[in-house]
Amino acid sequence: YQAADLTNLDTEFQSLKNEIDRVVATSDFNGISVLTGGTVSIQVGSQNTANDRLSVTLTAADTTTLAINASSVTSNANAQTAL
């Protein structure tokens, strides 16, 4: 690829990484952030005991956790590494 092509690809790649982080930061269900990681306790039984709750550990999905935060595609080697 030509340098200009890689620059344009990298601009798009950086925008997509920013969008991933934005989606992670703003996605929630019933007030619980579902993409930032952590543990959620869900009531599954009719009683309010530990046996009636399910604990779910959520893994973060941001670019740092996905290990793509420092990636760029400004060269063929960097693009290969980003894959």
pLDDT tens sequence across 21-69 = 999 999 998 888 999 999 999 999 999 898 999 999 999 999 999 998 8
pLDDT higher than 90, residue 83 = no
What is the pTM (predicted TM-score) of this model? 0.79
Contacts of 25 (CB under 8 A, 6+ apart): 36, 62
Cα–Cα nearest to 79, from 16, 2, 9: 9
User: Between the CA of residue 78 and those of 6, 7, 16, 18, what are the distances in Å?
Assistant: 10, 12, 16, 18
Could you give the residue ranges of the DSSP H alpha helices within 1-83?
A: 3-26, 76-82
